[in-house]
A and B are shown apart, each in its own frame.
Chain A
Amino acid sequence: EVQLVESGGGLVKPGGSLRLSCAASGFTFSSYSMNWVRQAPGKGLEWVSSISSSSSYIYYADSVKGRFTISRDNAKNSLYLQMNSLRAEDTAVYYCARDTGGLWGQGTLVTVSS
């Protein structure tokens, strides 16, 4: 089955760190660029970061630049998001999405609160 499954979300204090993972299956992961997109409670969709298929090109939203790091391991069919210096406004469901958006995971909730 073609799918993406996120994990690693949870409750973290402001200033803390968290690492999200996205496990891909059912397709050739190494052929696709990947993205992280988030959605704050009751709000719209916000693109967070993108990484090309070979990790040659990486982009971040201004809101997370310098704090978040996207990476991937094509041998493990996995995408990651290292989130440091977390703020209350980073609270959201984080989705991984393939390429231009044809495949999304179910999301993982990150809550930043003291």
Chain B
Amino acid sequence: DIQMTQSPSSLSASVGDRVTITCQASQDISNYLNWYQQKPGKAPKLLIYDASNLETGVPSRFSGSGSGTDFTFTISSLQPEDIATYYCQQYDNPSITFGQGTRLEIK
């Protein structure tokens, strides 16, 4: 099975800061990677698909990059409503796997 290593596990940043989360796959997954935002009590919301494509309706401050085994998710200017937990997810393999999650807090 493909393992996804996401870091950091938690992050504290100020409004307006640039925030970066990374995800590393245990083997080449091409660009078969999603990034999700999850708020408490809610289902995950897809933000980025195919590693770098912004889902319709998602603010442009969110972006993704990478291919192969190394991926990056960025919020260019953190907003208060971005407080959530973020997950990467690979779908190259029939068995989908998620990163461990990154809890983002406001400093």
| Interface residue ranges, A against B (CB under 8 Å) | 35, 37, 44-47, 50, 57, 59, 61, 95, 100-102, 104-107
The dominant DSSP class at the B interface is loop
B94 to chain A: closest residue by CB:
A59
Question: How many Å lie between the Cα of A101 and that of B87 in the bound state?
Answer: 12
| A35-B96, A47-B98 as given contacts; A101 in contact with B91, CB under 8 Å | yes
Among candidates A45, A46, A100, residue contacting B44 with C-beta atoms closer than 8 Å: A45
A61 to chain B: closest residue by CB:
B95
B34 adjacent to A100 (CB under 8 Å): yes
Closest 8 CB pairs of A and B: A47-B96, A104-B43, A45-B98, A100-B91, A44-B101, A59-B94, A101-B34, A102-B46
Interface residue tally of chain B, by bracket? 20 to 34
Among candidates B89, B95, B101, residue contacting A101 with C-beta atoms closer than 8 Å: B89
B105 part of interface (Cβ distance < 8 Å): no
A45 adjacent to B89 (CB under 8 Å): yes
Question: How many Å lie between the Cα of A74 and that of B96 in the bound state?
Answer: 22
Residues 24 to 79 of chain B near chain A (Cβ within 8 Å)? 32, 34, 36, 38, 42-46, 49, 55
B55 adjacent to A45 (CB under 8 Å): no
Binary A-proximity of B78-102 (CB < 8 A = 1, otherwise 0): 0000000001010100111111110
Question: How many Å lie between the Cα of A47 and that of B100 in the bound state?
Answer: 12
B49 adjacent to A46 (CB under 8 Å): no
Return A24 CB to nearest CB of chain B, in Å. 15
19 A-B pairs with CB atoms under 8 Å apart are A44-B87, A44-B101, A45-B44, A47-B95, A47-B97, A50-B95, A57-B94, A59-B94, A59-B95, A61-B95, A95-B44, A100-B32, A100-B49, A101-B36, A101-B89, A101-B96, A102-B46, A104-B45, A105-B43
